[in-house]
Structure 1
């Protein structure tokens, strides 16, 4: 199976926080899910922890390489820029990743994240959905030590909501 491509500074095990959520389900394919994931304005419809989505620079409604957007999640106002966008193609996984940040640079409140998605069709009309996020900063350290883990649980809700929406 394929893996997330990590940029320097965000490799799991060398960051302040890391979460990974994965599901393999049948009777859906990448093309069923991709439009719901690649259009952030749709996220609040199936994921309650996403709100206030807007695009910068007259971009949208679909993400693309370099697109800047904003959303709020986990109580953080997140500015983000798409750093990986690979649409579904036969025999290759779809990939989406953004660098997100909250707070002023070089302050204790600063949080930097790399959030990545990988969607890949498998044999037997199954799909694998993998989402992983690494984080750096004091807020990331605090999240890493919080139980239950809000990132792990929140991203699972995102996966569950994405699958429910795709099945409708």
Structure 2
């Protein structure tokens, strides 16, 4: 079975940015439909991922993400403004995709951080689901994160994946 890949916008191709992280889990007994509502509704993130806080939408949007939505959350000590750049819920034969451009700091400032954070959620054969999250980052904070050992982004995103799977398993059977 061919697995799908993240769609990368110009300026955010892995290997050509200041930092790149990739985390993935494949688990049995869950489906993309089980995972999707917990991921696509940012207000749920702090309930299963301790590194996300103070989520809010701008412009009266939400609670579920949609392409073009402007939202805010705090993570890794950064106040992040974000715009959803890709959104398609999973369907039979097609993965769910959600991605956002996030930024912290003023444009042009030395402490500016720009990221592209993307998720892919797809059903696999044998009753398995694959959850892939990848993020590319540009700016001085990204260079510092890339150099840190252990890499806080790798560890933080793994916590996000583990929390997401745990939250989905805790839901009542559908």
Aligned to 1:160: 162
Secondary structure at the counterpart of residue 160 of structure 1: helix
Aligned counterpart, 2:139: 137
2:11: which partner in 1? Answer: 9
CA shift at 1:88, angstroms?
A: 1.2
Counterpart selection for 1:89 from 76, 91, 99: 91
Structure 2 Cα separation of the partners of residues 23 and 167 of structure 1: 14
Which runs of 5 or more residues in structure 2 are unaligned? Answer: none
Q: Within 5 Å, which residues of 2 pair with 1:52-131?
A: 52-131=54-133
- Give 3-state SS (helix, strand or coil) of 1:91's partner: coil
Under a length normalisation based on structure 2, what TM-score does the superposition of the two structures give? Answer: 0.96
* TM-score using structure 1 length: 1.00
Deviations 1:32-68 (A, max 9, x none): 0000000000100000000010000000000000000
Cα distance per residue 1:92-139 (max 9 Å; x no partner): 000000000000000111000000000010000000100000000000
Moved over 4 A (4+): none
Gaps of 5+ in 1: none
CA RMSD of aligned residues (A): 0.3
Count of aligned positions: 168
1:41 maps to what in 2? Answer: 43
Give the distance between the partners of 2:48 and 2:158, measured in 1 at CA.
Answer: 12
* Whole-angstrom distance in 2 between the partners of 1:14 and 1:50: 27
